[in-house]
């Protein structure tokens, strides 16, 4: 059996998963390099960022993953719409509000808390176990964020 065919879209070993890792670095770099806000309403900026971000991820997703699109269920489509229109929009709007209230460096450093929130959410919502490894990783992340914010 070809192992590349057995990879799921969300798999840690899938080629598309490598496209996710540069995202936080790019966000932080863009935030710290431009301290001036765009002269657009936040909803317009969110619409452009979500649209362009989805398109950029759609191209490698279609060309690399070779997913079976006919296997997507109506609940899968509903989840996709929710992830795109609700979750991403809400995150971007809160991000722009954070940038309005805080300087760019502490705001972007605070983005490092996203994995901690994800781990805790997965534990409560999905019932994923919180083991010693996850707790140690969260402690190290929180310690790093604390150190970074003290220097900022």
The tens digit of pLDDT for each residue in 19-65 reads 555 655 565 555 555 556 667 787 787 778 777 877 888 788 778 88
Contact 110, 145 (CB under 8 A): yes
Q: What's the pTM value of the predicted model, to 2 decimals?
A: 0.49
Q: Confidence band (pLDDT; 50, 70, 90) for 133?
A: very high
pLDDT attached to residue 8: 45
Q: Are 116 and 90 part of one and the same domain? A: no
Q: Are 109 and 97 part of one and the same domain? A: no
Mean pLDDT of all residues belonging to the chain: 75
Find the domain containing 144 and state its range. Answer: 103-152
CA distances from 69 to 9, 10, 59, 107, 118 (A): 11, 15, 14, 38, 27
CA–CA distance, 96 with 39 (Å, rounded to integer): 12
Helix (H, G, I), strand (E, B) or coil at 69: helix
Question: Residue ranges of the alpha helices (H) in 73-131?
Answer: 74-81, 89-101, 104-110, 114-121
Q: Are 79 and 129 part of one and the same domain? A: no
């Amino acid at each position: 059996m070809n192992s590349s065919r057995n990879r799921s879209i969300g798999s840690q070993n899938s080629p598309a998963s490598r496209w996710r890792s540069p995202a936080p670095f790019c966000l932080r770099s863009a935030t710290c390099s431009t301290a001036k806000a765009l002269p657009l309403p936040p909803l317009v900026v969110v619409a452009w960022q979500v649209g362009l971000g989805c398109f950029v991820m759609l191209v490698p997703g279609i060309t690399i993953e070779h997913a079976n699109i006919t296997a997507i269920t109506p609940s899968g489509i509903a989840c996709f719409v929710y992830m795109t229109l609700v979750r991403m929009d809400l995150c971007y709007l809160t991000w722009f509000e954070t940038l309005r209230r805080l300087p760019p460096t502490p705001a972007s450093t605070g983005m490092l808390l996203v994995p901690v929130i994800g781990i805790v959410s997965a534990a409560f919502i999905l019932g994923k176990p919180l083991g010693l490894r996850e707790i140690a990783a969260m402690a190290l992340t929180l310690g790093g964020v604390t150190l970074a914010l003290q220097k900022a």
